[in-house]
Structure 1
Amino acid sequence: MDNDAVTERHWTFLTNHARVLVQIARDPGIRVRDIATRCLLTERAVQRIITDLEQAGYLSHERRGRTNHYSVIVTKQLRHPADAGPTVAELLATLLHSPADGRRGPASATPAPSEG
């Protein structure tokens, strides 16, 4: 088989929605411009993703002066049926885990209540 004829498939483990949510969880006062830079997206794409996340109940925001301050709704469950069960808090705890400093989870989010 000719190597030039084979097209390489590009894929990633995380969606852009997950990347944006992680950036907001790290810094609730982050600007859309900074999210776009960190996620390698356009500002318009980030704005659409934030709208999606807000409409689905995963995120809210309030205006503080000239900036938005975001709140991640960490008790919300993941939306895909194959992912049923885990909450946003559990997802973020995994994605934000930093082995170097031992910190886990979003800095601004309140952990989901434990069952049991």
Structure 2
Amino acid sequence: MTSRSVPPAWTFLTNHAHVLLAVAGEPDVRVADVAATVGISERAALSILRDLEDAGYLRRERVGRRTHYTVLEHRPFRHPQTRERDVDELLAIFAARPGATDARRGE
């Protein structure tokens, strides 16, 4: 067993952040795929999606048989130490969003 196959004892980003990143990267993603990507149960993924929607970080709408997620822009982080920063900054670093540019690479 390699060190890459052993889950870390802790991570810098919460499951909420990982779920938000997953739907930002693929707005029509299925809950099962979010859960698999983040490494949580579908029930936990649904709960987190509900939390994010209730807190105003994303909007959910039915499109046919699928659910489409829209990440709402300019929402502050919730922690008092970081609430003056927008979640958009996190998304710009981690999420591959259509039309987004990477200033570090000059794109």
Sort the TM-score into its range (normalised by shorter chain): 0.7 to 0.9
2:16 is matched by which residue type in structure 1?
H
Q: Is the 8 A contact 1:78 1:87 kept in 2?
A: yes
Check if 1:106 corresponds to 2:87. Answer: no
CA distance in 2, matches of 1:41, 1:10: 15
CA distance in 1, matches of 2:67, 2:39: 21
Q: Is the 8 A contact 1:25 1:108 kept in 2?
A: no
Q: Is the 8 A contact 1:59 1:70 kept in 2?
A: yes
Shift of 1:108: 8.0
Shift of 1:25: 0.3
> Which 4+ runs in 1 deviate beyond 4 A?
none
Q: Is the 8 A contact 1:71 1:108 kept in 2?
A: no
Check if 1:56 corresponds to 2:55. Answer: yes
Aligned to 2:52, the other structure's residue is in SS state helix
* Residues paired across the two proteins, number: 93
- What TM-score, normalized to structure 1? 0.74
Aligned to 2:60, the other structure's residue is in SS state strand
> What 5-or-longer segments of structure 2 have no aligned partner?
1-7, 101-107
Task: Give the structure 2 partner of residue 35 of structure 1.
Answer: 34
Q: Is the 8 A contact 1:29 1:69 kept in 2?
A: yes
1:86 is matched by which residue type in structure 2?
R
Aligned-residue RMSD, C-alpha: 1.8
- What TM-score, normalized to structure 2? 0.80
CA distance in 2, matches of 1:93, 1:86: 12
Shift of 1:10: 1.2
